[in-house]
A and B are shown apart, each in its own frame.
Chain A
Amino acid sequence: MTFIEKKSKLKVVGTRPIRPDGVEKVTGRAAFGADLAMPGMVFGKVKRSPHAHAKILSIKTEKAQALKGVLAIATTADFPNIPSEEAFVGEGPVNFRDLSRNCMARDKALYDGHAVAAVAATSEAIANAALDLIEVEYQVLPHVIDVEAAMAPDAPLLHDDLFTQGVDPKPTKPSNVAKRVHFELGDVKAGFREAEVLVEGTYATQPVHQAYIEPHACVASWNADGQSHVWTSSQGQFMVRAYCAKLLAMPIANLRVTPAEIGGGFGGKTLVYLEPVALVLSRKAGRPVKMVMSREEEFRGTGPTSGAVVEVKLGAKKDGRITAAQAVLKYQAGAFPGSPIGPGCMTGFAMYDLKNVDITGYDVVSNRPKVAAYRAPGAPIASFAVESAMDELARKLGMDPIALREKNAARDGTKAAYGPTLKDIGYVETLEAAKNHPHYKTKLGPNQGRGVASGFWFNIGGESSAAVHITEDGTVAVVSGNPDIGGSRASLAMMAAEVLGIPVERVRPVVGDTSSIGYSFMTGGSRVTFATGMATVQAAENVVEQLKKRAAMIWEISADAVEWRDGKAYPAGSNAGDFEPLSLEAIAAKSAKTGGPIGSEISINAQGAGPGFGTHICDVEVDKETGYVKILRYTAVQDVGRAIHPSYVEGQVQGGVAQGIGWALNEEYVYDAKGRLENPGFLDYRVPVASDLPMIEAVLVEVPNPKHPFGARGVGEVPIVPPMAAVANAIRDAIGIRMPSLPMSPPKLRAAIDKAAK
């Protein structure tokens, strides 16, 4: 694969064509998860525990079964009792036994909203009425929500077979602490002794939901011979296939999963909730079953990201060089182990070149929904703490916050605390661009402040498949295995068009189902433009080789005497022969005679994903009487490697920033004394609305990743990492008060202002 160094040589990559799937989306024709109807389809609904923690003593379904229109009822008895088994799937481990018990509770309800039974009926109204007729006998147990409360020795225990991993000696008593992780570099004790300035702080964040606007939705159809079809809104059709097959103990090839258009995921659709249940109901009812979550179910029953407590300590010399960095991170996992504590620990300090680092992390279960991935899982929490501490350090040193970061910046060759040596990275470039941006120089008024923060995300590669097919008229079909959550179809078509040398309108991309394209790891980890792009480019290059061979056949010359340029085959030099160039269309028209259909499918395990860095500048204005924070201006600088379609890259940055601002200011779960969620809806779970935000300027810095044919890096996750600290640092600048706890909602600000005034 050639890496195209010079941007000026590119004709399609870097431009802004209208996305190929766009017209369907602006006309309402695009089919999302709930938009499909199958003949004979019935409706499934889930009964959910109203208790945060309870033993399930019995489930009686006779009354519900007797209701006219009820076709099937599912409980844990209908699911195989699979053993504990962990699989490492990209950004975090999955335990299939836990996943099964999350989809359908086994002997305990572990959170308000935990699925305990499900019904399929001929109408949604009948299904809902049937839920009320299912009698569940609970023995309510004491519950625990807060992460530090869950770690206390006398905390109510969720699992009596959970023993903390990663501690020595191995514990004999079960605990809510699933795991302890530790990363170390150099000698922090010595580093702190060396330090001339010290900064310490404890920071807390609340769980926040990905809050995609489209609720989970699927239609499942189980046929009598066990072959099944699932249509679903999901970030990975192969993941759905694998997880359902595992949870239901069925051969993988028996299940075909078609990805619907997906109305947002952000990590929250990288696992299954409804699909296995819908398949079981379909099997029992003998009919296809549609299941759609309500918004309330989304909040009560699906995974947010962790809430956390993070302690940070930094030591530095007066000139700003950090001599030691230490952090203790405690992350909530929800009802089953698996918070993103690992990535949290690994990303917090990753922007900095540190000799002495000590990071300890705890994965802690508590009675709330099992945590799911949310855009750079773990990193925003860690960065909120570290970047707030860095801001305090800058103030103590009397240094400009960008200068402090430049002094300690990770560069090409820096060994990260979590192991790898970073290469071909663009962090310093983002600091530079931020420092020189007009935003950084504008004056502020009373009660206004400016904050800076940086962020990092690894980005992953992984398994991807893509196919490029030349049709009979020379137009091109590109098929990939990755749901499009950010404009990847456009990027893939553009990359293929670039390689083939043809206009992008002649390349039409689709997302294939699990039977139509090779295995692809899910859409997540900011990997699709990188890994699936790589597969697409390889397939397109393969096709170019085939086209050259076909031209050679037509001209009766040797294949190595043919060049491919601007969508045409040319004889390579006058010695090869005096032939008119052959277009793609011309070669396609003759393909049957020259050997058959022209196409290529490539499956790879893409390596060399380039990590991403961002530096953000945020201006706020604080109303000190009400505690209201207005975001005045926001500039997000990010190293994107190379922007394949700059509009969609900008869109990723802007969207991540908006989510980060919501996380910073207003989003949180509110529980009552019984552990029940009080705000399971968009009224009181407050995501930013259009009038809350200014324009968000996305500044794309390009330090190409040489491992990708066009230099692309993953971009989707970095932008959510800096905003919380950027906002907190801006508030600190505006009113002189450090807010160490999220969200920084008006009542909390007013209380802090009043306290400081005393």
Chain B
Amino acid sequence: MSRTHVSAVINGEPTDFLCEPQQTLLDVLRDELNLTGSKEGCGSGDCGACSVILDGRLVCSCLMLGVEAEGHTIQTIEGLATGSTLHPVQQKFLEHAALQCGFCTPGLLVATKALLDRNPNPTETEARYWLAGNLCRCTGYDKVIRAVMDAAAVMRGEKSA
């Protein structure tokens, strides 16, 4: 099968890659670009472990072909921190023990960032419904939601980090 040359901006960096038509964006991130932070939990868009932000929108990278990335901007978990400074959502997840095995965590963090970028003051219910597409089997979501609400408060400037 012939491979297509694709150019996109990934985590702020112009990135080129080759891929076959049937490869998903998730396949490309993990297998071609070595960005293994995004995970495959189901391959069918039901678990959110592969979540990335495409042109500012939260999407499942397993539901996009690699070739569809041409000309677009993508942010993955690897682009969340700034150098060695963690993003407030990452910091709050750690402080609230909002992860156990950590496998769903990259997807949850990306989804949380997408939430707070769009709605800086979500209610608990709004946060839960926004994150319904991110399955977690370890935490029961309790500490995750607490971390999200706390990170939101920090990002609104209502409390110090």
Contact = CB atoms under 8 A, between A and B. Distances in A.
Does B bind A? yes
Given A27-B90, A213-B49, A213-B135, A19 B97 contact: yes
B33 interface: no
A215 interface: yes
B94 A696 contact: no
Interface string A645-688: 10110111011111100000000000000000000011100011
A169 interface: no
A651 B30 CA distance: 30
Instruction: Tell which of B42, B80, B102 has the most Cβ of chain A within 10 Å.
Output: B102
A734 B124 CA distance: 26
B129 A691 contact: yes
Contacts of A153: none
A683 B135 CA distance: 11
Interface in B55-105: 76-78, 80-81, 86, 90, 93-97, 99-105
A652 B145 CA distance: 16
Contact of A26 (B30, B90, B127, B135): B90
Contact of B94 (A18, A29, A657, A689): A18
Interface residues on A, range: 35 or more
A25 B1 CA distance: 36
A183 interface: no
A214 interface: yes
B41 interface: yes
A664 to B, nearest CB: 14
Given A26-B86, A35-B36, A691-B128, A262 B101 contact: yes
Contact of A691 (B43, B125, B138, B142): B125
Given A26-B90, A263-B102, A264-B103, A687 B97 contact: no
Instruction: Tell which of A23, A27, A28 has the most Cβ of chain B within 10 Å.
Output: A28
Given A28-B37, A34-B40, A213-B136, A690 B97 contact: no
B139 interface: yes
B102 to A, nearest CB: 3
Contact of B145 (A21, A31, A690): A690
Given A26-B86, A295-B44, A655-B140, A682 B135 contact: yes
B135 to A, nearest CB: 6
Interface in A199-219: 210-215
A655 B37 contact: no
Instruction: Tell which of A487, A645, A654 has the most Cβ of chain B within 10 Å.
Output: A654
Instruction: Tell which of A16, A26, A29 has the most Cβ of chain B within 10 Å.
Output: A26
Interface residues on B, range: 35 or more
Contacts of A125: 1, 20, 22
Interface in A253-271: 261-266
A18 B49 CA distance: 23
A334 interface: no
Nearest to B102: A25
A96 B161 CA distance: 53
Contact of B103 (A21, A213, A650, A690): A213
Contacts of A82: none
Interface string A6-45: 0000000000101101111111111110110100000000
Interface string B124-157: 1101110111111111111111100000000000
Interface string A241-285: 000000000000000000001111110000000000000000000
B10 to A, nearest CB: 13
Given A125-B22, A690-B128, A682 B44 contact: yes
A213 B140 contact: no
Contacts of B20: 125
Given A28-B77, A655-B139, A214 B44 contact: no
Nearest to B79: A28
Given A213-B47, A264-B103, A485-B100, A27 B37 contact: yes
Contacts of B134: 690
Contacts, number: 178
A238 B146 CA distance: 37
A687 B44 contact: no
A651 B139 contact: yes
A455 B7 CA distance: 56
A25 B99 contact: yes
Contact of B42 (A16, A27, A266, A681): A681
A657 B140 contact: yes
A33 B38 CA distance: 13
A516 B127 CA distance: 44
Interface string B13-43: 0000000101000000010001111111111
A689 B125 contact: no
Contacts of A652: 100
B137 A261 contact: no
A367 B105 CA distance: 36
A745 interface: no
Contact of B137 (A211, A295, A647): A211
Nearest to B106: A28
A19 B137 CA distance: 19
B79 to A, nearest CB: 10
B42 A690 contact: no
A24 B77 CA distance: 11
Contacts of B42: 295, 681-682
A27 B138 contact: no
Interface string B97-119: 10111111110010000000000
Contacts of A262: 101
Given A22-B94, A27-B90, A487-B100, A651 B143 contact: yes
A32 B128 contact: no
Contacts of A29: 37
Contacts of B102: 21, 24-26, 30, 261, 263
A294 interface: yes
A690 B132 contact: yes
A213 B95 contact: no
Contacts of B106: 26, 28
Contacts of A486: 100-101, 138
Contacts of B43: 294-295
Contacts of B30: 34-35
Contact of A27 (B44, B81, B129, B139): B81
B142 A215 contact: no
Contacts of B129: 690-691
A729 to B, nearest CB: 20
A85 to B, nearest CB: 32
Contacts of A695: 124, 142, 145-146
The 7 closest A-B pairs by CB, nearest first: A28-B37, A263-B103, A25-B102, A658-B140, A647-B97, A654-B140, A682-B46
Given A655-B100, A693-B141, 5 more contacts: A34-B39, A37-B34, A263-B103, A295-B42, A487-B100
Interface of B: 1, 20, 22, 30, 34-44, 46-47, 49, 76-78, 80-81, 86, 90, 93-97, 99-106, 109, 124-125, 127-129, 131-146
5 contacts: A31-B36, A215-B40, A295-B43, A655-B100, A691-B129
